[in-house]
Amino acid sequence: MSERLDLVVLGGGTGGLVCAMIAAETGARVALVERARTGGDCLWTGCVPSKTLIATAALAHGMRHADDVGLQPTEPRIDLRAVMAHVRRTIAAIEPHDSPARLRAAGVQVIQADGRFAGPGALLAGDRLLRFRAAIIATGSRPALPPIPGLSSASALTSDTIWDLKRLPDRLAVLGGGPIGCELSQAFARLGARVTLVEMAERLLPREEPHAGELIAERLREEGVEVRLSRRGGEVRASEEGRGWLVLEPAAGSAGGGEVVEFDQLLVAGGREPRTVGIGLEHVGVELDQRGAIRVDERLRTTAPGIYAVGDVTGLLPFTHVAAHHARVATPNALFHARGRVARTVPWVTFTDPEVARVGLTEAEARERWGERARISQFDYSSLDRAVTAGRAHGFAKLIGDHRGRLVGATVAAPGGGEAIAELTAWISTGARIDRISRTVHAYPTLAEGPARAADAQLAARYQTPRARAATRTALALLRAIGR
């Protein structure tokens, strides 16, 4: 069967869903082709289940440490089956928003089938031939498994499969100290597992400010997680009884090695790879980069005329909100030849406790551009009243300014960091100076005051230089003389 469509969307995760809905709302003839379930990784194995688990683990941690706020601590009774049932109920509550029924009600043709390009302007969805004017690829990504000898024999878990656990592992080994590894290590440790977290880099969260990685490592260790830095998995040995041993080797340029970590379950959280195999890209001239991601320009155009790509498959920032933003850029471009571009100012959050939220440049990146003229200001949440009253006085807010004092980056590694980063993203997007944050009224007492107090410190430092102090003294002397 042959159909002529304005737009075909391949992939039903966040990016694909938003593309299809936008197209339908404009009156376009649009089909969404998804081989499995609509909703993608975010709904089924990513954001929704992980943040639900994190919330449960946070409550368990709070019960154990209730004495921090003057209450009697208690050890929670944890049944992982019940916890995972709660996770599934949460997914079920959100699933209708991403369902085929909602898409069809909006006017989207939803086709559950494997999709692959057959040639220019043509896509096979199962046995149906769809002809299109434009197409958007939104096939997402999958967990990447490192080439470690013996890994396949250990029944290793990934962020996709860990939700099938029915029993809390006594000993959990986690390979990868990025956002997923840190979040799940802390969550399972709070639920009662003995966790060992292994990271090849010198610190956790290598993309973030060094102090943020150090803060999270300290917090994890305080909560019982064994953190192994500058180590990589050299070999996995598994027994028939389900036990396993992870042999650690030093990362390149590091000393040590030879340590053996015993585990009941092994979780691999070492990153993700784009889903580009088997979708017929070679038939339409869509090129991949060296990482296997689809090459796109700032308008999300691929190397094939009329074909765009959004979300994780592009190899750009792998976040749900980025996929949704891509969809809002790519869909008008694909349908109407608009000229929208991907935003350069994009925040992200690692949902550990404390959260690590980031937007824009780090201090190191700013120093590389402007040297000592870069303006850096930091505020410690141990002095933030709201954090103190909540018994959560840990973390920091760091503001990065250029040589003119404009805000170009920020990290909030503190309670509520994920909420506070939104305001800072807006300030960066408008090209505001750091002192604008200081002059903006923030409600007291709130966690959002943290970045404002960092801005206060930067403003105070500017007026406390010898030159500024001298000018101030001269001005005050003149005003006193006039006042006489």
The identity of residue 133, as a single letter, is R
- Distances 125 to 40, 72, 241 between C-alpha atoms, Å: 18, 59, 43
Residue-level pLDDT at 351? 98
Supply the CATH classification number for the domain 354-466: 3.30.390.30
123, 115 in Cβ contact below 8 A? Answer: yes
Residue with tokens 């199962």: 126
Residues carrying CATH 3.50.50.60, the chain: 2-142+273-336, 151-270
340, 333 in Cβ contact below 8 A? Answer: yes
Phi, psi values for residue 297, rounded to 5°: -95, -170
Helix (H) or strand (E) holding 6: strand 2-10
Helix (H) or strand (E) holding 482: helix 466-483
Sequence-separated contacts (24+) of 119-123 with Cβ below 8 Å: 119/283, 119/284, 120/284, 120/304, 120/305, 120/306, 121/306, 123/8, 123/10, 123/33, 123/280
The structure's pTM equals 0.93
pLDDT by residue for the chain (484 residues), tens only, comes to: 456 899 999 999 999 999 999 999 999 999 999 999 999 999 999 999 999 999 999 999 999 999 999 999 999 999 999 999 999 999 999 999 999 999 999 999 999 999 999 999 999 999 999 999 999 999 999 999 999 999 988 889 999 999 999 999 999 999 999 999 999 999 999 999 999 999 999 999 999 999 999 999 999 999 999 999 999 999 999 876 678 999 999 877 777 667 999 999 999 998 899 999 999 999 999 999 999 999 999 999 999 999 999 999 999 999 999 999 999 999 999 999 999 999 999 999 999 999 999 999 999 999 999 999 999 999 999 999 999 999 999 999 999 999 999 999 999 999 999 999 999 999 999 999 999 999 999 999 999 999 999 999 888 877 777 877 788 888 888 898 887 6
What does the alpha-carbon distance between residue 348 and residue 319 come to, in Å, rounded to a whole number? 8
Task: Quickly name the fold that domain 2-142+273-336 has.
Answer: FAD/NAD(P)-binding domain (3.50.50)
Question: What's the CATH number of domain 151-270, 3.40.190.10, 3.50.50.60, 3.30.70.260, 3.90.230.10?
Answer: 3.50.50.60
The identity of residue 397, as a single letter, is A
35, 13 in Cβ contact below 8 A? Answer: no
Which of 379, 375, 382 has the alpha carbon at shortest distance from 361?
Answer: 375
Residue-level pLDDT at 484? 65
Residue-level pLDDT at 152? 86
Residues carrying CATH 3.30.390.30, the chain: 354-466
Residue-level pLDDT at 2? 56
| Residue 237 token pair | 């040995």
Residue-level pLDDT at 1? 43
Which of 144, 90, 109 has the alpha carbon at shortest distance from 12?
Answer: 109
∠ CA 40-197-267 to the nearest 5 degrees? 40
Q: Is 295 exposed, middle or buried (0-12, 13-18, 19+ CB in 10 A)?
A: middle
